[in-house]
Amino acid sequence: MMYPHPIIAKEGWPYLALVGVVTLLVHHFGGFIWAWPFWLIFFFVLQFFRDPQRIAPLGSDLVLSPADGRIVVVEKAIDPYANREALKISVFMNVFNVHSNRISVGGYVREVQYFPGQFVNASLDKASNENERNAIIIDANGQIVTLVQVAGLIARRILCYIHVGDRVTPGERYGFIRFGSRVDVYLPLTAKPLVSVGDKVFATNTALAMLPGLS
């Protein structure tokens, strides 16, 4: 799927402009000796806000990864947002991963729930229940899929651009989390996981599970 936005996420433009201006001023007046730490910060911010286009894998009934990162949880759990037993798959994003979040399945948005909270390390299981988070519940052809953006240790802003009643498509860009975080995916127990703890995954490119009845 092609995304109608530049390869650098719009959320990063103000940061890049600010750091870029400061870096150029320091370089101009102080030379590279003084400016090199600022150039490192600039390139870190540039890589953090990269937002490459992605193509979904071929196949029906696939649940796509909503984020880049590493799998830290694959287990049966309680989905507290849809009040059910579910298969939980969690993707942890470090500061070097792409932080643009994308829709896992097609359907319509039944609920959007935001919860303020703490900012403990997002790789820890307790982050799912204690950290700031934003959950969306998608009705995908009668199958309920919950995606939860969870803030991390230094993440201080969760951005979500969809609303109740919106129709969404697999791979659609729907949000962004700044500076380290995770996304929890809750699926019906009929879902068959295609990933294991420790696997590296990519938003839209990687299928997390197969869920009969999606298509």
The percent of residues above 90 in pLDDT, for the chain, comes to 47
Residue 138 located in a structural domain: yes
Region 63-86: what's the mean pLDDT?
95
Tokens of 35: 């400016």
Pair 40, 78 in one domain? no
Structural contact between residues 102 and 204, judged by C-beta atoms closer than 8 angstroms: yes
Separation of alpha carbons 70 and 72, rounded Å: 6
Q: Is the pLDDT of residue 191 over 90?
A: yes
Closest among 90, 74, 80, 66 to 177, alpha carbons compared: 66
Separation of alpha carbons 33 and 2, rounded Å: 41
Write out the residue range of the structural domain in which residue 151 sits: 62-201
Phi first, then psi, for residue 23 (nearest 5°) are: -60, -45
Q: Is the pLDDT of residue 210 over 50?
A: yes
Region 58-67: what's the mean pLDDT?
90
Pair 108, 184 in one domain? yes
Residue 102 located in a structural domain: yes
Check residues 76 and 11 and name the one with the higher pLDDT: 76
Pair 104, 158 in one domain? yes
Q: Is the pLDDT of residue 46 over 90?
A: no
Count of domains forming the chain: 2
Region 62-91: what's the mean pLDDT?
96
Closest among 172, 142, 168, 136 to 56, alpha carbons compared: 172
Neighbour tally for 118: CB within 10 Å: 12
Residue 206 located in a structural domain: no
Region 95-104: what's the mean pLDDT?
87
Residue 208 located in a structural domain: no
Digit-coded pLDDT (tens) for 113-160 = 998 866 655 556 665 677 788 999 999 989 999 999 998 665 557 889
Q: Amino acid identity, residue 205?
A: N
At residue 123, the pLDDT reads: 57
Pair 73, 40 in one domain? no
At residue 2, the pLDDT reads: 45
Check residues 196 and 51 and name the one with the higher pLDDT: 196
Pair 15, 84 in one domain? no
Of these ranges, 11-20, 43-52, 65-74, 167-176, the one predicted with the greatest mean pLDDT is 65-74
At residue 186, the pLDDT reads: 98
Residue positions annotated with a catalytic role: 181
Pair 30, 86 in one domain? no
Residue 189 located in a structural domain: yes
Got the DSSP string for 133-180? EEEEEEEETTEEEEEEEEE-SS---EEE---TT-EE-TT-EEEEE-SS
Structural contact between residues 55 and 209, judged by C-beta atoms closer than 8 angstroms: no
Residue 1 located in a structural domain: no
pLDDT interval class at 16 (50, 70, 90):
confident
Q: Is the pLDDT of residue 111 over 50?
A: yes
Structural contact between residues 149 and 134, judged by C-beta atoms closer than 8 angstroms: yes
| Average of per-residue pLDDT values in the chain | 86
Say which CATH number the domain at 148 has.
Answer: 2.70.70
Pair 78, 41 in one domain? no
At residue 6, the pLDDT reads: 63
Pair 140, 164 in one domain? yes
Residue 20 located in a structural domain: yes
Check residues 15 and 178 and name the one with the higher pLDDT: 15
Pair 143, 189 in one domain? yes
Structural contact between residues 173 and 101, judged by C-beta atoms closer than 8 angstroms: yes
Pair 40, 68 in one domain? no
Residue 166 located in a structural domain: yes
Structural contact between residues 206 and 64, judged by C-beta atoms closer than 8 angstroms: yes
- Indicate the SS3 state at residue 40: helix
